[in-house]
Each structure stands twice: as structure tokens, then as C-alpha cells.
Amino acid sequence: MLDPVWLKTFLVVAETRSFTRAAQRLGLRQSTVSQHVRKLEQASTQQLFVRDTHSVELTADGEAMLGFAGTVIETIDRAMSYFTGTELRGRVRFGASEDFVVGPLPEILREFRRSHPQVDLELTVALSGVLHEKLRAGELDLVLGKRRADEDSTGPLWTDQLVWIGREGLEPDLGDPVPLIAYPPPSITRARALEALRAEGRNWRIVCTSGSLNGLRAAALAGLGVAVFARSLIPAGLAELAPGHGLPDPGEVEFILTARRSALRGPTAALSDAIRAQASRLHGTH
């Protein structure tokens, strides 16, 4: 049998890549953490970590155990919540891409808070690249954002076409260089726009850089230039450029909901389920 206590310890060690940090987070002695991992390895008959004095890395079997352990712990937490009738309590550090701040996401979060009033929800709005960095650093529990469509990872909530946009009715004279409105690095849409222009040998100039969706929208409404957005997330007052605009295809982008494995239980799992259930509201409503 795989003891849930061992599995929880394993997940924290896998996340922190450190027995010392895992012990601190769990409030256990380091020797106890080592014992839990050793017992789990004995029970599974597989080595889960490769460790030396400087690093702790997952083996191939350890990577496989991540999925099983997360599912087991999540199922146990949900079963306990169901049978004990206890309200969800705790904190969820949720990161959302800038693209969603003016859409239906606030209403989805409001409905979640109404259903789970004892859950403290901390919202961080930033570029997708920044949010993924914070997730990897353990600063966020759950992230809703973009990733490149050519990345090999878990399945997306949906895939969308990237398109060139500008002020409604704009008939741009897109000569050399192309006037570009973009988020700052590490913006995915900025990177795709520049890659597409480079591939066709087109020159460009950045006429506006803003980390705010409203800032980009204002620049586009003023007719300063053009931008790349997901087709389903074109801001109000802006429109996809008419066919024949002559700009290169920027490709596709995927929208994903991803969590720290050790955090995907309790309130974080509940928020993840709520957003997944409402994905159709997020997609294609802008």
C-alpha cells in the first residue's frame, strides 16, 4: 500500500528538489522526510530520486509517481471533504494572464468565492511568461495563461489562431518598417509576431510597449500601429485586419490551466475544476 503521508512528502520533495526545504515546509525532521521517501521507494520497488550532496532529481519512475501521487492525494482530500461535510478552507495563489482581466474571468472567480467563502483567493495578473516563472518558483499555486502551440506538454484548454489586429476600419499602409504594438518580454504574442516578421525578412519598429492590456488597446485605437492577439481575445473597438494585409501568419497559441502538483488539492483543485467547467465562457467571448 502507498501511504498518503509518504505520497504528500514525496510531492513536496519533488517540488522543492530538496529534502531540507521539504522538511521545513512540512514541519518535519529531515530524517523523517528521508524515511517517508525510502518507505515509498520500498513499497513501489522503484528508485524515485537520484540525489547527491548538491542536487535532488526525479528518476523516470519518480516522474511517473508524480501523476499517481497527485491523483491519490486529490481524491482523498475530496472524499474527506464530502463525507465530513467540512467547508473548503485555505488559500489559493492564482495567476491569470493579462488577456482575461476584461472578460468573464472576474465573474467566474466571484461565483467561486460565493460557493467557497472560507477560501482566501490571491490574484496575480501578469504576462503568461511571468506567471509560469512564478509557478515554477513556488510563488503561485494555479495559473491560467498562454503557451506556444509547439510546446510539448499537457493538453490545453483550447488552441487559438493568432491574428494581426488594429483599429476597426483601419486600412494600414504597412510598409517598411511595420509599426508594432506589443507587450514587453517575455510576452508570447510579442515573440511570435517578431519571429514571423523575421522569417519573412520584414523590418519593424516598436511604436508602443505596455504591460497593460488597456495600454495596448489605447495605442491601437489611436492608430499608432498593429498588434498580434489571439482571435478569441481581440479587445473591444479593435478588429482583425482584412484579408490581404500582407503580414506573415503568426501561428497559433494554446491556453492552459496548470498547477503545482503538490498544491492541486483542496481549494486549488476546486478552483481548477471551476475554471475548467467554465472554459467555454473564457474562449470566444471577447
pLDDT digits (tens, 9 = 90+) for 73-85: 888 877 776 666 5
CATH code for the structural domain at 4-84:
1.10.10.10
- pLDDT of 285 reads 43
**DSSP string for residues in 250-272:** --EEEEEEEE-GGG-SHHHHHHH
SS3 at position 120:
strand
Averaged pLDDT score across all residues of the chain: 87
Whether 98 and 105 have beta carbons less than 8 Å apart is answered as no
Instruction: For residue 282, give the C-alpha cell.
Output: 473564457
Instruction: For residue 92, give the C-alpha cell.
Output: 489559493
- pLDDT of 84 reads 61
Q: Is the pLDDT of residue 93 over 70?
A: yes
Residue found by looking up cell 513501489 in the block: 44
- pLDDT of 45 reads 94
- Ordered by start, the domain boundaries in the chain are 4-84, 90-155+254-282, 159-252
CATH code for the structural domain at 159-252:
3.40.190.10
Max CA distance (Å), the chain: 68
Whether 166 and 241 have beta carbons less than 8 Å apart is answered as yes
> Residue 220: CB partners within 8 Å, gap ≥ 6?
165, 166, 167, 181, 226, 227, 235, 238
90-155+254-282 is a CATH 3.40.190.10 domain: yes
pLDDT one-digit tens code per residue, 174-220:
667 999 999 999 899 999 999 999 999 999 999 999 988 999 999 99
SS3 at position 159:
strand
pTM: 0.65
Cis peptide leading into residue 186 (ω within 30°)? yes
Same fold for the pair 90-155+254-282 and 159-252:
yes
